[in-house]
Amino acid sequence: MLTSHTNVLRTDMMNTVSICVFLAGIILIIILSNSTNISLASQNSTVSNIFTYINSTFGIKMQIPSDWDLQEVGDMLKKSTVTIIRLTPAFDIHKSFDTDPSDGNTYVDINLQKNNRNMSLDTLMKNNISTIKNDNNTSDFKLLYSTTGANLAGRKAYTMVYTSTNNGLETITMDCAALCGNRIYSATFNAEPSSYAELAQTVQKMIGSLRLTTMS
C-alpha cells in the first residue's frame, strides 16, 4: 500500500510540473502575440540593468539583461541559416557555441535564414516540424502549441512550443519566426523544464523587444 501511495504522489507531482511548464509556454506565446502593444519604455520600467544590443550587419536591435551572456556567432548552422547571437543566463554562461551548436541546455538564439522558396508561415512551420522529427539526435517530439497569429519584430510570425529529447536530455523549445521579404528572422528559446518555467518572463521581454533596423 505504501508503494502504491508513493507512486500516486510521484505521478501527481509530475503532472503538476507538466501543467506549470505548459502554462508558462502559453503565457509566453500570448505575450509574443501582443508584442506590438508592448513599448520599450514599459519594458524599461519592469526590467533593470538592461542594455540595447545593435547589430548593423544583420539589421537587428534588442534589449538584453546585463546578467545574460551575449555571444555574437554569425556562423552557419546549416545551409543558408545564420545564428546571429546566442544569449545564455548567468548560471549557464560556461556553455559555449564554439564547440557545438547544441552545447548548453538553456539559451536564446536569434537566427537569420534565406527564404528562397517564398514560403508561407504555415509551410515554414510545418517544414521545421518535419526537420525536427527527422533529426536522428532528437526523439519524443511532442507539439504543445502552435499558431501562425503571433508577432516577432513587428512582423506576423508563427510560434510553436514543443518538448523533445535531444541526446538523452529532455528540453522544452519555443520557436518563433517571421517573414521579411526574402529573409526569415527567428528566435529560439530552449531549456530544461524547470529553467523554462523560471526564465519565460525574462525571455519574452527580450524577444518582444527585438526590432529590425533595415527594411526589406
Q: What whole-number distance in Å separates Cα of residue 87 and Cα of residue 43? A: 18
Measured in residues, the chain has a length of: 216
DSSP string, 161-183: EEEEEETTEEEEEEEEEEEETTE
Q: What whole-number distance in Å separates Cα of residue 138 and Cα of residue 128? A: 13
Q: What whole-number distance in Å separates Cα of residue 177 and Cα of residue 157? A: 5
pTM of the model: 0.74
Do residues 112 and 58 touch, judged by C-beta distance below 8 A? yes
Coil, strand or helix at 1: coil
CATH classification of the domain holding 70 = 3.40.1000.10
Work out the angle between the directed axes of helices 2-33 and 193-208 (0-180°, nearest 10).
10
Query: If we measure between CA atoms, which residue out of 203, 154, 165, 170 comes closest to residue 29?
Result: 203
Q: What whole-number distance in Å separates Cα of residue 63 and Cα of residue 202? A: 11
Total of domains in the chain: 1
User: Could you list the pLDDT tens digit for every one of the 216 residues in the chain?
Assistant: 444 444 443 444 444 445 545 555 554 554 455 443 333 333 333 445 899 999 998 899 999 999 999 999 876 555 678 999 999 997 654 454 444 444 468 999 999 998 877 789 999 999 999 999 999 989 999 999 999 999 999 999 999 999 999 888 999 999 999 999 889 999 999 999 989 999 999 999 999 999 998 754
Give me the domain span that covers residue 139.
2-212
Q: What pairs with residue 76 in β-bridges?
A: 82
